[in-house]
Structure 1
Amino acid sequence: MVTLKQIQYALAVDKTRHFKNAALACHVSQSALSTAISELEKHLGVQLFERNNKQVLVTAFGREFLTKARQIQVQIDELEQLTAVNKSPLSAPMAIGVIPTIGPYLLPKVLPALREQYPEFKLKIVEEQSHVLVDMVRNGELDSAILALPYETSGLLTFQFWQEDFYWITHCDNVSTAKQHISSAELKFEKLMLLKDGHCLKDHALAACHLQGYHSDDEFDSASLYTLIQMVAGKLGTTLVPEMALSQLIYPQSELAALHLSEPGPHRSIAFITRANYVRVNDITLLQQLFKNELNSHAKSTQL
Structure 2
Amino acid sequence: MKNLPSLKNLYYLVHLHQEQNFNRAAKICFVSQSTLSSGIQNLEEQLGYQLIERDHKSFMFTAIGEEVVERARNILTNVDDLVELVKNQGEPMTGEIRLGCIPTIAPFLLSRVVKLCQQDYPKLSLLLKEDTTERLLDALAKGELDLLILALPVDTSGFHSMKVGIDPFKMVMHKEASEQFLQPIDYQKMPDESIFLLQAEHCITGHAITACQLGDSAKINPFAATSLHTLVQMVN
Cα distance in 1 for residues equivalent to 2:57 and 2:115: 46
Larger proportion of strand: 1
What's the % identity of the aligned pairs?
Answer: 35
Which structure exhibits the higher relative contact order, with contacts defined as CA atoms closer than 8 Å and separated by 6 or more residues? 1
Contact 2:197 2:224 in 1 (8 A): yes
Does residue 135 of structure 2 align to residue 101 of structure 1?
A: no
In 2, the alpha carbon distance for the partners of 1:7 and 1:210 equals 48
Match of 1:195 in 2: 198
Partner deviation per Cα, 1:139-198 (whole Å, 9 max, x = no partner): 321111111111111132123221011221222342349x9x842415641411112223
Q: Which residue of 1 aligns with 2:44?
A: 41
Which of 67, 79, 82 lines up with 2:82 in the alignment? 79
**2:168: which partner in 1?**
165
Q: Is the 8 A contact 1:184 1:210 kept in 2?
A: no
With over 3 angstroms needed to count, the CA separation of the structure-2 counterparts of 1:11 and 1:215, relative to structure 1, is farther
Report the CA distance shift for 1:52/1:123 in structure 2 as closer, same or farther (over 3 A).
farther
Q: What residue in structure 2 maps to residue 18 of structure 1?
A: 21
Aligned position for 1:185? 186
CA distance in 2, matches of 1:126, 1:188: 40
- Give the whole-Å Cα distance in 2 for the aligned partners of 1:58 and 1:159: 36
Residue of structure 1 equivalent to 2:69: 66
How far apart are residue 55 of structure 1 and its match? 5.0
| Unaligned residue ranges in structure 2 (runs of 5+) | none
User: Would the alpha carbon gap of residues 218 and 170 (structure 1) be closer, same or farther in structure 2, given more than 3 Å must change?
Assistant: closer
Counterpart residue number, 2:214: 211
CA RMSD of superposed structures (Å): 2.7
TM-score normalised according to structure 1 size: 0.67
Shift of residue 60, structure 1, vs aligned partner: 2.5
Q: Residue 95 of structure 2 aligns to a residue in which SS?
A: coil
Give the aligned length.
231
Correspondence 1:114 to 2:117? yes
In structure 2, how many angstroms separate the alpha carbons of the residues matched to 1:99 and 1:11? Answer: 26
Question: How far apart, in 1, do the equivalents of 2:44 and 2:188 lie?
Answer: 59
Matched residues in 1 for 2:17 and 2:107: separation? 31
What one-letter code is carried by the residue in structure 2 that aligns with 1:16? E
1:163 and 1:53, CA in 2 relative to 1: closer, same or farther beyond 3 A?
farther
Deviations 1:242-270 (A, max 9, x none): xxxxxxxxxxxxxxxxxxxxxxxxxxxxx
Q: 2:88·2:94 contact (CA, 8 Å) conserved in 1?
A: no
Structure 1 match to 2:126: 123
Q: Which consecutive unaligned segments of at least 5 residues does structure 1 have?
A: 234-304
